[in-house]
Chains A and B, each alone.
Chain A
Amino acid sequence: MTLNEETTRLGGERGSQAAEFAMVLPMAIGLLGFLLAAALVGVELLAAQHLAREVARAAAVTSDADAHTMAGQLAEGRTLELAVSPPSGARRPGDLLTVRLRLRSAVAARLGVDVWLPATAVMRTEDVP
């Protein structure tokens, strides 16, 4: 192999390294994006759990209507589905009430995916005058 051939070969390897880097780079960026999105969805999941607890607490001392109003305020514009059982007319002090909510993930929605984050909380109904 002449010096000229060696130089040509090394130049070709340099090109292949660049090609490999170009191939891996989108994968690395995608990985970082995926991890970031997963972390943000995780934060939303925690927010959903917090929301369920607060709404359950409100439902334990007030009516379902007040609990729904409060859920709307705490959700800060995010879409959610909320169910309280048994309903405020049917539960008595000491009964356990269950709040089930599903919060639509804003992060996933921005990525074009429809993800609903579930959360549940159970509280004891209190005897509030």
Chain B
Amino acid sequence: MTRASRSDGLKPPSRTSERGAAALTTTVAACLVLLVAGTVVGALLDLAVASARARTAADAAALAGAGASPLVGGDGAPCASAATVARANGGHIVACAVTRPDARRGEVLRVAVTVRVPTVGPLARPLPDSTATATAAVLPADPVGCLSSSAARSGCSRHGRGLRSARVAGQYGGQQAHGGVLVQGVVAVAALR
């Protein structure tokens, strides 16, 4: 507004009508930020939980697959057993492979399983499903026995008493559909008959 316009007798626009407009805008903006931030955090949490469940499912499926090996007295259908356990954990198997990488060292069998777990929260629907890959092996007896997992120690110690001659070891790697590896580590060792 110029001094000329004020001096020509025109009435200046009312400031009273603008009062509160900025406050309203700020409040609406804050609400939008809250909504967007809450949605993003919720979706990320959903994705993280689905990823953890995928790791659990893959780990359990691989161990179940190895445990079903005829080498340790199982029914001889590792992938079917792995699929059952993956389904019980809310996932489904994407890939299952059974290999005997080193026959010279005795009875070695590896079961590699990839499990996909869908994100369940409504906020994470547009996000990709979580997948995780786990490997379990039926290995010859190992006098050293134990690996790092606390869950495995009881099984290892029993095995260390030399009761039977095979053990199942598991390793998993969690991976998002877009490719980043989240976790890699040995998770379990148990004695089998």
Contacts and interface: CB of A to CB of B under 8 A. Distances in A.
Size bracket of the B interface: 35 or more
B158 interface: yes
Interface in B76-114: 81, 84-85, 88-89
Contacts of A45: 45, 48-49
B149 interface: yes
A39 B19 CA distance: 38
Interface string A19-58: 0100110011001001100110010011001101111111
Interface string B1-28: 0000010000010010001001100110
**Chain A interface SS verdict (over half):** helix
Contacts of B48: 42, 45-46
Nearest to B31: A27
**Chain B interface SS verdict (over half):** helix
Interface in A85-129: 94, 96, 98, 120-124, 126-129
A53 B63 CA distance: 12
Contacts of B84: 96
Interface residues of A, number: 45
A77 to B, nearest CB: 17
Nearest to A38: B41
